[in-house]
Structure 1
């Protein structure tokens, strides 16, 4: 087990049950951890998911069930990023690459090799998702948008870096009625400095049932994970490092 004592103290230091939050909820391990983290901190939480032309809808089915279990409002937005192409998560003619857990431990955002960014990166996806979340935050009087990006165990996507999040938050407070009238909007990234193992430990401490989650890039119609993509590799490694059984349903 890893030591989350200081991390948990930091994450719970500014709980505010008078404010609302919007959480980007994919149905995967990271976003569900963020959902329960936000529930523990804020008065009202709206979960926001996207049907964006991704390879499978198992994650949306999982997201809906998780939101119901958590007792939070849930919205699914239909957008068609797939028509733009450029990612194996939206273009079925492209092959999702196999993952290798050995290459992931403690990889930092400043070590990204642009040529090594996998084809599972969806161009501008986080910018699009955060823009919708920004609109939902305005209409739900939310001061916080929560997203499950990390700079530790991840696949090297440029829109997961702290400098990107800081830039978007700055823009958000220039571009919204809330921002210009003094109601500062904060983009919360509770997993930014956590490894996958630490994320799992945090979620377990908040009561997350990871058996409900689907992280796989190419899960089948029953929600069974492939076990070989980057996301599955990171997930397997995380549970192994925590020392508990992986509750993921893998394809035979």
Structure 2
């Protein structure tokens, strides 16, 4: 591991350069003779956020296949996928979401983040459900299937009846997430066909969902705030006019 590297804190979202004093990297010997997995090692990384308003610790652990050239030297096989690769702190990568996003949608998002590494396929399925909830709540479209709702949303965009925050690109992204989420929601016709969703792929779906939270709910909330400010200013001016001028 290099002495300095770029990093974004999962708690506060601040980008920063991590230096050695802010981080700890350890490799633990997990060799047990005769085990089926072969020689193993645990890689533990701890990083302290340098943002004075955060200062929280992130801890990640990976259980990897390894070789031991000598009793005191461990070499982790970076070409092989870790047997376990997960964050201990924070346990979830979820970002706090505002109350103007409906609670059921937020709960599906939080749960999808929690199980991203443990079950990426289930995480993708929850994100699919989360986005279906967004279409029903934000766009007011309810059909028997998500596919039908996406089709109706595309028609609303074409007809100019959809909210201005909803773009054709975002609906296409939702349609792609639907097909990925279907992997976990529905069994393949050939049960011997196994299609997996990787943790990094589930992370992409989560990132897109966070983007849509901001583009849909966030943009609408900001518009409402700005309009409320204008109305407040107008009311204040009316009240000022109603006050008699000093004689």
TM-score normalised by the chain length of structure 1: 0.22
Between Structure 1 and Structure 2, the one with more strand by share is: 2
Query: Greater CA radius of gyration, 1 or 2?
Result: 2
TM-score (norm 2): 0.22
Q: Which has the higher contact order (CA 8 A, sep 6+)?
A: 1
